[in-house]
Amino acid sequence: MSFKVKEVIDGDTFDVTPGWKWDGKNGDRVRIANLDAAELHQPGGQAAKTKLKNLVEGKAVELKNAVNMSYGRIVCDVHYNGKDIKTML
């Protein structure tokens, strides 16, 4: 299923529409699995957010292989234009 990225939060987290449903839970916040971007207050944090924002904000992504929930976010693989987003960042 395709989701539109409505807002990038930081270098590895964003909100989507419509909301996702997984394992009896639902929400709109997504964290990219196996990607550990710098926090916004750390060196490189703003650059990581900008890179992700320029890549996917306002665009369609696919959420695949959800692994768990963390702080109300689904943690999963994210694909953009058929490619794993981690290979683009």
What distance in Å separates the CA atoms of residue 36 and residue 39, rounded to the nearest whole number?
Answer: 9
Q: Using the predicted structure, report yes or no on whether residue 1 has a pLDDT greater than 90.
A: no
Is the confidence at residue 81, as pLDDT, over 90? yes
Residue numbers of the domain that contains 10: 2-87
Eight-state DSSP code of residue 42? S
Check residue 38 and give its pLDDT: 95
Mean pLDDT, residues 47-67 taken together: 97
Domains contained in the chain, number: 1
Handedness of CA 11, 71, 14, 4 (dihedral sign): positive
- In 3D space, the residue among 22, 29, 13 whose CA is nearest the CA of residue 68 turns out to be 22
Please state, in angstroms and rounded to a whole number, the distance separating the CA atoms of residues 68 and 50: 26
Here the tokens at position 15 are 């909100």
List the CATH number of the domain containing 76.
Answer: 2.40.50.90
pLDDT per position as a tens digit, 2-54: 999 999 999 999 999 999 999 999 999 999 999 999 999 999 999 999 999 99
